[in-house]
């Protein structure tokens, strides 16, 4: 109800000429434009000669790494909100189908020339409302498909000023998981703080996880508390640092 009200308010401001606000009806996007997909469909299979450059391979690995941790972070966050994680932080359900679905969606989206089709942490709002089996996601997908036919009339709900409300609620749902931190462990608290901070300022779950890993590794090494079980985290931290260095070199 709040999102509907915000959509109406923002659209009213848009109709009044306020810059950056949506309008009640926007015909710049129409279902007839779906036919234009033929211009980009399959373009991802072109230009493989670029992989003769080692930096292209490194860049592909960077994208894979980021997408993997972005998906993993999203799924863990949603599963934690659904009560599918035990007191030791272990996932109690088989999330392999979700990972496979995400991977297939990512590949199919690339073939169609769209932005990455992947899981989004906004699913937490559905979980908070009681979703558990996946039927809510199927219903949402069908409604999105139906909305294509009347999208110009739904344009007022696509503004970030409207959808931002849902993200605030998602943040609240995710923030509740901080209660599971070992608050007497300064390493856990410090790395957790940097994870939340970077997620917030970078608008990226994967970047938050990356800097959480890096901070944890640095703090355990500096504090002399590095254990054999931390080797995996340390290896991931090195990989993340390599990706950030590569991004800086390639200016991406």
Q: Which class for 116: exposed (0-12), middle (13-18), buried (19 or more C-beta within 10 A)?
A: middle
**pTM reported for the whole predicted model:** 0.64
Residues 6+ apart with CB under 8 A from 4: 157
Residue 216 pLDDT: 92
41 near 196, Cβ under 8 Å? Answer: no
Question: Could you identify the residue written with the tokens 């496979």?
Answer: 100
Q: What is the pLDDT of residues 183-200, one digit of tens each?
A: 888 888 999 899 889 988
DSSP 8-state class, residue 179:
G
What residues does each domain of the chain span? 181-252
Q: What is the pLDDT of residues 133-148, one digit of tens each?
A: 888 888 888 988 887 7
CA distances from 227 to 110, 215, 219 (A): 40, 15, 12
Helices (H) and strands (E) in the chain, counts: 10, 0
* Distance separating alpha carbons of residues 148 and 37, to the nearest angstrom: 14
Q: What is the pLDDT of residues 96-105, one digit of tens each?
A: 888 888 888 8
CA distances from 40 to 37, 46, 63, 105 (A): 6, 11, 20, 17
């Amino acid at each position: 109800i709040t999102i509907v009200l915000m959509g109406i308010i923002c659209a009213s401001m848009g109709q009044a000429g306020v810059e950056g606000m949506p309008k009640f009806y926007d015909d710049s996007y129409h279902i007839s434009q779906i036919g234009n997909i033929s211009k980009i469909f399959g373009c991802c299979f072109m230009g493989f000669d670029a992989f003769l450059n080692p930096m292209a391979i490194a860049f592909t690995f960077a994208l894979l790494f980021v997408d993997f941790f972005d998906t993993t972070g999203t799924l863990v966050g949603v599963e934690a909100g659904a009560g599918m994680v035990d007191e030791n932080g272990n996932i109690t359900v088989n999330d392999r189908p979700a990972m496979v679905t995400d991977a297939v969606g990512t590949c199919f989206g690339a073939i169609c020339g769209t932005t990455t089709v992947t899981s989004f942490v906004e699913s937490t709002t559905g979980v908070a409302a009681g979703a558990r089996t996946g039927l809510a996601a199927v219903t949402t997908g069908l409604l999105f498909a139906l909305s294509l036919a009347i999208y110009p009339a739904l344009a007022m709900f696509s503004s970030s000023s409207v959808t931002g409300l849902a993200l605030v609620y998602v943040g609240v749902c995710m923030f509740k998981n901080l209660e599971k931190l070992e608050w007497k462990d300064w390493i856990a608290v410090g790395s957790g703080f940097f994870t939340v901070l970077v997620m917030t300022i970078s608008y990226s779950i994967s970047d938050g996880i990356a800097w959480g890993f890096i901070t944890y590794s640095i703090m355990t090494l500096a504090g002399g508390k590095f254990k054999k079980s931390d080797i995996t985290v340390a290896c991931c931290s090195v990989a993340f640092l390599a990706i950030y260095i590569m991004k800086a070199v390639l200016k991406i």
